[in-house]
Chain A
């Protein structure tokens, strides 16, 4: 039996699945942009537009893993293990996805330059151009990690407290607003700030993790309706 079995299992299955899925999405976007270019002038970065959807995808995927804690318990593991190893999986997976997205930006920049297309990004982004690769990597990692962890928190809260678990959306929204004002995803004007990305991400992740720990540390398993 290997050490860190939950993280290893997830990295060997879920991470690969998510990377392949996202790769497929960007491939599709590339084809779509190519088709659209036949009819109109391209002015926007297609990769940047997909970025609008990613926070919600991360939140949804996170929430959908709420049953995972029950499954690992059925197979003899503990909540504590899950609450340590799942966040490790989250950090690594979101880092890999952020790296892949950065790579996709590189490819897109080269392609747009070759075709002499404009590659505008969303106004609220923390980067002004698609060549700020370090910033792109940082903000995507920040956003994905925070939204994914909040998704797992919300999913577990709903599993544990059912309807009352919807209250978890309140702290989750506050953390999203706080971090979004810095990393540029779900960035509302009144919440924008010039605080540095790394400390803000660290604080947001710590808060989300604290909430997740509180929710999952002694969560009782429920019997699914047959």
Chain B
């Protein structure tokens, strides 16, 4: 069971500040979407509106074809885990929160929750407030995955996790997604680490959708050029270079924009290697270009 997402002219205002400026989204269900954006771009606001946590100031949000805000038939099929990992009262112990989720969430998988608790080595008797930041995030992930909600949203849910725990989260998400396909939206700043998971990438910038493309399509927007430094410099002269890295006589330059056949032949003749560009480099370039703030 998967859920499609559609927003039309979605606007959310906080007082005088408009966080989302008429966002139009049309995301088919059954995919893993990566939601990228700089701080304050509107990612959390968008996810809150998608989950019915916040009423839009204007426009519509439809999940599975139905409006979401205060619509029980839809909200029970959505799970949003936010960066604060808040899934219960801080004074509740983890076992109580799992028990509450079992009462409230129709699709809750108790057995899977227990398995995940063991995999993430989370103590059931401890209260949420007694957990470390990373453990609290891991517990949020347990609740998010075990909810088995047809639309599951993770908003920086990995905050505070150490590298092995983050890897466990990504592996578990992918494994469960393949076993039980559903729609995931993952908001993150860990672009290089998490982007291999994404099928489509959404880049939001200052409340507007900047990019919505398949991951491979996005990657094809740029090329990495590797080879002797002088040859690389000569080749990329006049092109938009996103970043350069040099190790001894070898240099790698990330170039924005697709190369033509002539350029590819020329690169080969110069002994240069062409490869895919990093999503993070593209992200930095695209969002810096739109805001005028270089990195």
Interface residues of A (CB under 8 A from B): 1-2, 5-6, 8-9, 13, 67-68, 70-81, 218, 220-221, 223-226
Contact = CB atoms under 8 A, between A and B. Distances in A.
Interface string B71-101: 1100111111111111111000000100111
B106 interface: yes
B147 interface: yes
Closest 8 CB pairs of A and B: A75-B104, A221-B53, A224-B84, A76-B76, A9-B103, A220-B54, A1-B106, A224-B86
Given A8-B103, A78-B72, A223-B44, A73 B87 contact: no
Given A6-B104, A68-B89, A78 B75 contact: yes
A76 B104 contact: yes
Contacts of B83: 223, 226
Contact of B54 (A5, A8, A71, A221): A221
Given A76-B79, A223-B83, A224-B84, A71 B100 contact: yes
B55 interface: yes
B193 to A, nearest CB: 20
B186 interface: no
Q: Mostly helix, strand, loop or mixed at chain B's interface? A: loop
Contact of B75 (A5, A6, A76, A220): A76
Given A67-B89, A71-B88, A76-B78, A5 B104 contact: yes
A225 B136 CA distance: 13
Nearest to A65: B89
Q: How large is the interface on B (under 10, 10 to 19, 20 to 34, 35 or more residues)?
A: 35 or more
Interface in B55-72: 55, 69-72
B52 to A, nearest CB: 7
B72 A81 contact: yes
B223 interface: no
Contacts of A73: 52-53, 75
B48 interface: yes
A72 B44 CA distance: 19
A216 to B, nearest CB: 11
Nearest to B12: A220
Given A73-B52, A223-B82, A78 B70 contact: yes
Interface in B203-248: none
Nearest to A221: B53
Which of B70, B84, B104 has the most chain A CB within a 10 Å cutoff? B104
B131 to A, nearest CB: 11
B52 A225 contact: no
Given A67-B89, A68-B89, A73-B53, A9 B100 contact: yes
B189 interface: no
Contacts of B81: 74
B84 A226 contact: yes
A55 B112 CA distance: 43
B38 interface: no
